[in-house]
Amino acid sequence: MPETTLQAAPAPLTALTDDEVLFRDNIRQFAEDKVRPLVREMDEKGVFDKELIHQFFELGLMGIEIPEQYGGGAGTFFEAVLAVEEMSRVDASAGVVVDVQNTLVNNALLRWASEEQKKRYLPRMASEWVGAYALSEAGSGSDAFALQTKAELRGSDYVLNGRKLWITNAKEAGLFVLFATVDPTAGYRGITAFLVERDFPGFSVGKKEDKLGIRASSTCELILEDCRVPKNNVLGEVGKGYKIAIETLNEGRIGIGAQMAGVARGAWEYAARYAQERKQFGKSIADFQGIQFQLAQMATEIEAARMMVYNSARMKDAGMNFVKEAAMTKLFCSQVAERVTSLAVEIYGGYGFTKDYPVEKYFRDSKIGKIYEGTSNMQLQTIAKLVLGGK
């Protein structure tokens, strides 16, 4: 069945300024016009369209918060999550490309990079380089600081050895925020963040994973074999990588919440339209109270998820402590996305289980929300500590 352009469900305009509404609407139109026609092909091939990434840069999507002096849009974190939500409403893979670039990589550079590093990298992040965030390893997932990648200082360079797994944007990235330990005996106090360029000697990108969802988004292995990284490419301070990782991921979780809210919205819009078109027993299935109640519950949960995203992003921009809210946002939005997309498949019935209709892709894409950038159990652990008075 050919896909048709859908109109988005109304947004809570009271939560946005006029400028933010204009920004959001421009991203929404771009997603409809440029991204939606490519979604199915990218998903089937498992490859993100290169020209589309070029258009992301032209539109300013890859440097939303980067100051004008470095060639960026001088926008807000709130605008970044709006962009992630609108992209993900059409394609979660497009959403995560924008998300990792802005909420993880650019945020890490803006907060922790030296002025020399900012001058060297931020203009390229705003105009041509995709970024990737390399923390996870085979034996280091939720226990992120059990990482084994080592960094040894030799003269003016650090020499890195190890492997990273499940690195988003790795196939396209020109710059990697990569974590390694300079002293395995020091535990988390040995972890250090490095800015690794793709063409550094000893660095290579390994196999791309064949995934259930967000298939167009590249998720790859990184291989470091005596990879030489200049000393001045340490991000922040030696031994402070754990702090950079924790604080950057807190921001990233809001971005994943936005992605999942967008996925849920996209699936709901298809389901609501289909329910009004599909006829059984002489009338549209949307005339049956059972379907009406399902769509109403779905819409309510989506609205609650969006408000959590918006609130967390506003808190971040205001300089408030948002750690608890970010964890709650990621937890809840990923739950909503999984429920809503599953119900959307059911509303489509047998058609929903086929790849001829779009909702099965939303369902597949939703699952990652409970896994990456901190599993749901890790979010619950964080929330429990904070609401019960722990540290």
Of the residues 20, 79, 221, 373, only one is catalytic, namely 373
pLDDT confidence bin for 390, thresholds 50/70/90: low
- Final residue before a domain boundary, out of 170, 205, 239: 239
Answer yes or no: is 121 within a domain: yes
Answer yes or no: is 350 within a domain: yes
What is the model's pLDDT at position 142? 87
Position 6 pLDDT exceeds 80: no
- Final residue before a domain boundary, out of 218, 239, 260: 239
Which residues have a Cβ under 8 Å from the Cβ of 70 and sit 6 or more positions away? Answer: 63, 118, 119, 122, 123, 126
* Paired sense of beta strands 157-168 and 150-154, if any: antiparallel
Answer yes or no: is 267 within a domain: yes
Tell me the pLDDT tens digit for each residue of 277-303: 999 999 999 999 999 999 999 999 999
Q: Which long-range contacts (CB under 8 A, 24 or more apart) does 74-80 make?
A: 75/23, 76/317, 77/103, 77/107, 77/251, 77/254, 77/313, 77/316, 77/317, 78/20, 78/310, 78/313, 78/314, 78/316, 78/317, 79/20, 79/23, 80/255, 80/313
Answer yes or no: is 199 within a domain: yes
Among 61, 44, 108, which Cα is nearest to 250's?
108
Residue 105 burial (CB < 10 Å; 0-12/13-18/19+)? buried
Same domain assignment for residues 250 and 379: yes
Percent residues over pLDDT 70 in the chain: 96
Answer yes or no: is 1 within a domain: no
- Taking residue 97's Cβ as centre, other Cβ atoms within 10 Å add up to 28
Same domain assignment for residues 258 and 318: yes
What is the rounded average pLDDT for all residues in the chain? 95
Same domain assignment for residues 107 and 214: no
Same domain assignment for residues 54 and 157: no
SS3 of 38-53: the string is HHHHHHHHCCCCHHHH
C-beta separation of 134 from 158 below 8 A: no
Q: Which long-range contacts (CB under 8 A, 24 or more apart) does 204-207 make?
A: 205/170, 205/171, 206/163
Q: Give the C-alpha separation, 28 to 229, whole Å.
A: 40
Tell me the pLDDT tens digit for each residue of 211-267: 999 999 999 999 999 999 999 999 999 999 999 999 999 999 999 999 999 999 999
Same domain assignment for residues 138 and 72: no
Q: Give the C-alpha separation, 89 to 28, whole Å.
A: 9
Lowest pLDDT segment from 3-17, 187-201, 256-270: 3-17
Range of the domain at 360: 243-387
Backbone angles phi, psi at 79, to 5 degrees: -65, -35
DSSP-based helix, strand, coil % in the chain, nearest 5:
60, 15, 25
Question: Which residue in this structure is represented by tokens 């200049």?
Answer: 230
Q: Name the residue with higher pLDDT: 10 or 179.
A: 179
Answer yes or no: is 302 within a domain: yes
What is the model's pLDDT at position 13? 38
Same domain assignment for residues 99 and 118: yes
Answer yes or no: is 290 within a domain: yes
Among 151, 135, 224, which Cα is nearest to 186's?
151
What is the model's pLDDT at position 14? 45
Percent residues over pLDDT 90 in the chain: 94
CATH of the domain at 116: 1.10.540.10
CATH of the domain at 146: 2.40.110.10
- Mean per-residue pLDDT for 312-335? 97
Tell me the pLDDT tens digit for each residue of 66-122: 999 999 999 999 999 999 999 999 999 999 999 999 999 999 999 999 999 999 999
Q: How many residues does the chain have?
A: 391
Note if 373 is an active site residue: yes
The radius of gyration of the chain from alpha carbons, rounded to an integer in Å, stands at: 21
Which residues have a Cβ under 8 Å from the Cβ of 68 and sit 6 or more positions away? Answer: 74
Same domain assignment for residues 157 and 262: no
CATH of the domain at 248: 1.20.140.10
Tell me the pLDDT tens digit for each residue of 17-54: 999 999 999 999 999 999 999 999 999 999 999 999 99
Same domain assignment for residues 232 and 269: no
Same domain assignment for residues 205 and 221: yes
Same domain assignment for residues 120 and 150: no
Q: Compute the Cα dihedral for 104, 164, 223, 45 and give only its sign.
A: negative
Supply the DSSP symbol for 231: G
Q: Give the C-alpha separation, 370 to 335, whole Å.
A: 7
Answer yes or no: is 354 within a domain: yes
Same domain assignment for residues 249 and 375: yes
Which residues have a Cβ under 8 Å from the Cβ of 16 and sit 6 or more positions away? Answer: 24, 82
- Final residue before a domain boundary, out of 98, 130, 162: 130
What is the model's pLDDT at position 7? 56
Lowest pLDDT segment from 127-131, 144-148, 228-232, 307-311: 144-148
Could you give the number of structural domains in the chain?
A: 3
Same domain assignment for residues 144 and 233: yes
